[in-house]
Structure 1
């Protein structure tokens, strides 16, 4: 996901939100001798990576692997860094490459093939390249899905109810005159969720129609800001910022952070506007610790880690056998049928679409 993550929206208590270059050492009974004999594996990831310390300690204690987390900004910055350093990789394993940038890393052969045994528990649904024999632990897919974080339009339901005004439901609704001056979105040129929203409109309207749709949004006074944090926490009326606009581009998971004292969510994700973003992990091709790196990927797919991702990183686990927290089941169910463009189509069209959007909206 990062200014694109709800973990930056709310003061949810997270034990183990790590900063760049922080070494994470297991807390087993072996003390300093165990720590000094552990093999260090560097995990390159985005700035929103978080895991409870007890979960990480348990993995390190059992595996004899010490995990060093190297934060690299958002998903785009992470992908760029891995491509630029592929001949001399900065890490052994990476997590947080999302589906809008994954095709670039695959084309550049940044990752080595590895089929984690747990891929059969749901992550194979999001495979991007040949996966081979899932669960074999041998050659196969180079990237394995770890979590899902769908980008969706969100609305402030109380705002619409207080004005006895029907809320929008679809892309078509957002462009109607009655919703003029109500939408705020992060820029697709500078924001991952903004780019996902642009891709959603391309998927919905097609190559021949998405620019006309954005002209209607512009004519209707849709506001574009630099990033998700500004859009959600400053301009959106349904968040703590109490901004002026009741419609915002955010995440399917966002309403889980906006539950009132009565247990009712104050916001709603419009599930007909969602675009699927999947985050992947993989072993870097140039690592000299491939076996240990694979075990870190296995850890990211383990039930112990997967259970933590909703309330620590505000994304959905890729494993299908992990139950969502009760509040998520009520307020933030995973969308059933989100839009999604093929990875190669995104790779081919992304820069052109962004430049066309710039000319249309900023020109």
Structure 2
């Protein structure tokens, strides 16, 4: 039997990795976990960051330097170190304003709905599960950044030059090592393992209709089992006691038995990077682990919004996101991998936050053609 729980006060719903409030990495990001500071300002709707004049609102450039406001529209977990934002403003002459209409899916929906009255100049956080929808709706203007590293070319959105890849991350199932050791049950390793009766009532995932990670996991099963088999697989999960919640914070921080959770489910949908941030200071082992055979790779993009008041500032901000300084900042701020392979990753990532060698894939055109159909079929089958 499948159960469903409606989330209240959901912390994260975006396409980047989550932040348990009391984990090693959650303590680093009090602004996000506690609802204060930089990200909380963005969540409030709009934050003005930097020292630019409030009256200097005209876009354009002067003597090679930018001026005016760059309005950045993001998902609700965008985070770049404040000193880097300040450096960008000082060097470019622009003042950065942030607004966050919701998670990655909500971001795309709002951008499409407001094409006649753009929300801002540049958007960050559109992922590969929604990229084709935004491209087809002509949400973005073509732009190829001169700062795009060669290692990022593999992540380009097909033949379109409307979106620039900024970071990547693997959505995967995570397990609580301690729970399985105490229970004397072997940890699952594959999708198929989860159908075994010994894993009944142990798995909690997020709803693909309300959660970007949930949609990524649905796509992982499409990639693994194909058009003919993915829905049958979900029927099997539902029959083995699958639990579905609306958002990541409830799944990871409430229902999951590991991390800060006090739940009774030792298998949870999260990210391959999550275990790295469960390792306490001085510890050599992670209490949780990612099942790398269950991953779907998300790619997050930025783009110049069509009809932007300040397209030059938008382009400058995309170049900024690809700079070595920001690419090196991304792992410990948004807990995803930079697209540049020239930056040094946190030491713990090599051991505890590997990317999957062979993540499951679904072609962007297939996602665009069947996304809504798949979500509807999943809902009818799993939720009823």
TM-score by length of 2: 0.87
Q: Supply the distance in 1 between the matched residues of 2:116 and 2:153 (Cα, whole angstroms).
A: 28
Q: Supply the distance in 2 between the matched residues of 1:212 and 1:3 (Cα, whole angstroms).
A: 26
Q: Supply the distance in 1 between the matched residues of 2:55 and 2:231 (Cα, whole angstroms).
A: 61
Q: Supply the distance in 2 between the matched residues of 1:274 and 1:59 (Cα, whole angstroms).
A: 35
Maintained 8 Å contact 1:7/1:48: no
Deviations 1:94-142 (A, max 9, x none): 00001111111100111111111122332211111326xxxxxxxxx11
Q: Identify unmatched segments of 5+ residues in structure 1.
A: 132-140
Maintained 8 Å contact 2:20/2:259: no
Question: 276, 279, 284: which one pairs with 1:259?
Answer: 279
Q: The residue matched to 1:11 in structure 2 has which SS?
A: helix
* Counterparts in 2 of 1:174 and 1:33: CA distance versus 1, 3 Å: same
Of the structure 1 ranges 14-23 and 92-101, higher mean CA displacement relative to structure 2 is found in: 14-23
C-alpha deviation, 1:34, in angstroms: 9.3
Maintained 8 Å contact 1:26/1:35: no
Maintained 8 Å contact 1:200/1:339: yes
Q: The residue matched to 1:283 in structure 2 has which SS?
A: strand
Maintained 8 Å contact 1:89/1:287: yes
Q: Supply the distance in 1 between the matched residues of 2:276 and 2:28 (Cα, whole angstroms).
A: 11
Maintained 8 Å contact 1:26/1:56: no
Spell out the pairing of 1:1-363 with structure 2 (5 A cutoff). Answer: 2-4=12-14, 5-7=17-19, 9=21, 10-13=26-29, 16-17=38-39, 18-19=41-42, 20-26=45-51, 38-130=67-159, 141-261=161-281, 262-363=283-384
Q: The residue matched to 1:276 in structure 2 has which SS?
A: strand
In structure 1, the partner of 2:7 is none
Maintained 8 Å contact 2:18/2:248: no
C-alpha deviation, 1:43, in angstroms: 0.4
Q: Supply the distance in 1 between the matched residues of 2:19 and 2:91 (Cα, whole angstroms).
A: 28
Q: Identify unmatched segments of 5+ residues in structure 2.
A: 1-10, 32-36, 59-65
Deviations 1:312-341 (A, max 9, x none): 111111112122101111111122221121
Maintained 8 Å contact 2:275/2:352: yes
C-alpha deviation, 1:38, in angstroms: 3.5
Q: The residue matched to 1:282 in structure 2 has which SS?
A: strand
* Counterparts in 2 of 1:178 and 1:325: CA distance versus 1, 3 Å: same
C-alpha deviation, 1:260, in angstroms: 3.5
C-alpha deviation, 1:83, in angstroms: 0.7
In structure 1, the partner of 2:8 is none
* Counterparts in 2 of 1:286 and 1:222: CA distance versus 1, 3 Å: same
Q: Supply the distance in 1 between the matched residues of 2:157 and 2:251 (Cα, whole angstroms).
A: 31
Of the structure 1 ranges 10-19 and 267-276, higher mean CA displacement relative to structure 2 is found in: 10-19
The count of corresponding residues between Structure 1 and Structure 2 is 351
C-alpha deviation, 1:46, in angstroms: 0.8
Maintained 8 Å contact 1:2/1:46: no
* Counterparts in 2 of 1:80 and 1:208: CA distance versus 1, 3 Å: same
C-alpha deviation, 1:263, in angstroms: 3.0
* Counterparts in 2 of 1:232 and 1:116: CA distance versus 1, 3 Å: same
Deviations 1:326-360 (A, max 9, x none): 11111111222211211110011111111111111
Maintained 8 Å contact 1:25/1:35: no
Q: The residue matched to 1:117 in structure 2 has which SS?
A: coil
Maintained 8 Å contact 1:124/1:144: no
Structure showing greater relative contact order (alpha-carbon pairs closer than 8 Å, 6 or more residues apart): 2
